[in-house]
Amino acid sequence: MHIAVGLSGGVDSSTVCHLLKKQGHEITGITMKTWDESYAGQIKGSGCFGLNSLANIADAKKVCDKLKIPHYTIDLSKEFKKHILEYFKNEYAAGRTPNPCVFCNQKIKFDLLMKKANEAGVIFDKFATGHYAKVEYDQSLKRCILKKGIDEKKDQSYFLSMLNQEQLSKLIFPLGSYLKQEVRSIAKEACLPVHDKKESQDFYSGGISDLMDDKAAKGKIVDKQGMTLGYHKGLYSYTIGQRKGLGIAYKHPLYVTGIDKENNRIIAGEKSDLLKKAFYVRDLNWITFDKLHEPLNAKARIRYLHKEAEAMIIPEDNEMVLVKFKEPQSAITPGQIAVFYDGDIVLGAGTIAGTLE
């Protein structure tokens, strides 16, 4: 089987190349270039998009040279800017907190990258990456299902939850059955040049202002009664649940409990003010079925590091569901991704639209 591997230049995807080649498959490494030269001098941080982007491409090439497999670099900088950077900026400008990694997987890595690789002459049967997750075909459902990886600390099913059936049918995630420490050991034994490389950063490690086009408009920080407590340095510097950076001396710790885009205000309150039981989710992507017709009990995760909690998912219409937690959860944040689970199976996901008071 000819398998193309999305190669980031990190230890995980590099180990995938090694494992699949060892199994006898024909392997081609594919690395996407996201760096946009127009940001030179503006960007200070690193990550999937940042100053280390070109170095990561070079590391990917070294791995392919070591394994004696072909390597292609696919320039997706224009597409990345259009679909991910613009989304990132627009969401923050609207007072929401985006999740660029989820949408990069949906629109770039598991869509445009694969298509552009085909156009470059790389014809493959399956596409693999170093994600810690599993894809299986369920005969009874006649559908591909997405499952958690066995390493609970590294499971990345959350970031893959917006992939559709066509995408999932083409994918292989070999590391879903491995622990991270095992992957490190395999890479070291194989003498891969990136075996001791540090974990890759998130989307971008620098300040959000680096990526924004407009200078932030300063405004008021108020309590829930509207009383002025202080002043903020721009809405996009804050997210729901944030405690640090408010710069206000107060009788108890203050948290960002709301972002009022219309009036350019940050609403601050006590930790208890962050607790909510119900919220709306839009832009739904169901994996184990096509459409939710009746209320469903599941577990919901409202951000990557959130411990999923029991909830009821209630269909509102074709575009929206109402999610009610059994117990209140902290910092439900508009713009973030809510993912629904049945055990280790991802049922589906969508974007948090807002909370129900």
The answer to whether 327 and 310 have CB atoms below 8 angstroms apart is yes
Question: Is 117 within a domain?
Answer: yes
Specify the residue for token string 């108890």: 252
pLDDT tens string 139-155: 999 999 999 999 999 99
Are 163 and 288 in a shared domain? no
Q: What is the pTM of this model?
A: 0.94
CB 166: neighbour CB atoms within 10 A? 10
Buried b (16+ CB within 10 A) or exposed e, 244-276: eebeeeeeeebbbbbbeeeebbbbbbeeebbeb
pLDDT at 2: 98
- Residue 29, token pair as written in the block: 């490494």
Confidence of residue 209 (pLDDT cuts 50, 70, 90): confident
pLDDT at 319: 87
Are 157 and 26 in a shared domain? yes
As a whole number, mean pLDDT of residues 90-102 equals 93
306 vs 153, 324, 334, CA distance in Å?
A: 12, 16, 15
Q: Classify 168 as helix, strand or coil.
A: helix
Confidence of residue 213 (pLDDT cuts 50, 70, 90): confident
Dihedral pair phi/psi, residue 147, rounded to 5°: -130, 160
Are 259 and 178 in a shared domain? no
* Lowest model confidence (mean pLDDT) among 16-30, 138-152, 214-228, 325-339: 214-228
Mean pLDDT for all residues in the chain: 94
Question: Is 321 within a domain?
Answer: yes
pLDDT tens string 35-46: 887 777 777 777
For the domain that residue 330 is a member of, what is the CATH number?
A: 2.40.30.10
Are 112 and 250 in a shared domain? no
For the domain that residue 67 is a member of, what is the CATH number?
A: 3.40.50.620
Whether 292 has a pLDDT exceeding 70, the answer reads: yes
Are 54 and 125 in a shared domain? yes
Question: Is 195 within a domain?
Answer: no
Whether 331 has a pLDDT exceeding 80, the answer reads: yes
Confidence of residue 295 (pLDDT cuts 50, 70, 90): very high
pLDDT at 9: 94
pLDDT at 183: 98
Q: Classify 284 as helix, strand or coil.
A: strand
pLDDT tens string 241-275: 999 989 998 989 999 999 999 999 999 999 999 99
d(CA 312, CA 272): 22
* Lowest model confidence (mean pLDDT) among 25-29, 211-215, 229-233, 239-243: 211-215
User: Nearest Cα to 288, choosing from 126, 138, 102, 133?
Assistant: 138
Are 96 and 145 in a shared domain? yes
Confidence of residue 201 (pLDDT cuts 50, 70, 90): low
Structural domain for 261, as ranges: 215-269
Q: Classify 109 as helix, strand or coil.
A: helix
* Lowest model confidence (mean pLDDT) among 103-117, 157-171, 190-204, 329-343: 190-204
Domain count of the chain?
Answer: 3
- Out of 127, 155, 189, a domain closes at 189
pLDDT at 204: 76
Whether 103 has a pLDDT exceeding 80, the answer reads: yes
As a whole number, mean pLDDT of residues 136-141 equals 97
Are 10 and 132 in a shared domain? yes
As a whole number, mean pLDDT of residues 26-36 equals 94
- Residue 217, token pair as written in the block: 């408009």
Whether 117 has a pLDDT exceeding 80, the answer reads: yes
Are 41 and 152 in a shared domain? yes
